Amino acid sequence: MELMYRIKEDILNNRLPMGVALRQVVLSARYGVSRIPVRDALQALKAEAWLVPHGKAGVMVPKLNLKEAEDLALMRARLETLALEFAFEHIKSTHVDEAYSYLSKLEASDLTLLERGELNWRFHCAVYQACQRPTLMRSIEVLNIQASRYLGFQFGPLGYHNHSQQEHREWLELITCREKAAAVQLLERHIMSAGKCLSEYLKKA
């Protein structure tokens, strides 16, 4: 897991180039490990869509893709608002308190892009878990894993963190006040606005 984490961080920070084959022997030397853990890490990252096939047996970091970014935002918005609707009547103060704890951790200035992405998912999950729908939650988690590279990009080059945090606070306030319709609408806008910001950037890139 540590090796996967290091590779993800290098991808998010553009230390591993997009569209270029990743060679196990080169990565082995880079990270100071044998080729076996490198091979296993690359396979796991391919399963999470952080890497894609390249050539007969290789892999590479895919370029950020406009349609993929749009699709991920659309699917996340649909499924996560659905989870919130199912969860709303079952959200307890413990769920909200857990979400606030992750919100506080997201304020740290020394977080890596990957840590921000993980904490962002845990923040949302703290609320959604009240829906008690494991199949739905697994699907949402998979989408968030796929979207994490894009989320890291938003927190980094696009500087979306402060705006995101403000909407997170507003969202929790609506949930605390039991304003279901407003909370669902804000969640959808929160996901789609971030997706639109990234899509507009990718159109210009």
Nearest to 102 by CA among 85, 127, 77, 129: 127
pLDDT per residue over 139-174, tens digit each?
Answer: 999 999 888 888 766 666 666 778 889 999 999 999
Kindly state whether residues 18 and 99 are assigned to the same domain.
no
pLDDT at 142: 92
Residues 148, 54 share a domain: no
Is the whole model's pTM more than 0.75, yes or no? yes
Which tens digit of pLDDT belongs to each residue from 104-114? 999 998 988 88
Query: Which residue range(s) make up the domain with 85?
Result: 66-204
The total domain count for the chain is: 2
Query: pLDDT tens digits, residue range 90-100?
Result: 999 999 999 99
The CATH number of whichever domain residue 162 belongs to comes to 1.20.120.530
Residues 30, 126 share a domain: no
CATH number of 15's domain? 1.10.10.10
Both 99 and 40 in a single domain? no
In a shared domain, residues 26 and 97: no
Give yes or no: residues 56 and 85 share one domain.
Answer: no
Q: Which of 19, 38, 60 is the last residue of a domain?
A: 60
- Would you say 170 and 186 are in contact if contact means Cβ atoms under 8 Å apart? yes
Residues 55 and 150 in one domain: no
The confidence score (pLDDT) of residue 153 equals 64
CA-nearest of 70, 204, 202 to 147 is 70
Rounded-to-integer distance, Cα 100 and Cα 205, Å: 35
* Residue 74 shares a structural domain with residue 167: yes
The end-to-end CA distance of the chain, in Å, is: 32
**Same domain, residue pair 191 and 149:** yes
Categorize the per-residue pLDDT at 203 as very low, low, confident or very high, splitting at 50, 70 and 90: confident
Whether residues 6 and 106 share a domain: the answer is no
Q: What are 22-70's pLDDT values in tens digits?
A: 999 999 999 999 999 999 999 999 998 899 998 877 899 998 889 999 9
Q: How crowded is the C-beta side of 120, counted as CA atoms within 13 Å?
A: 27
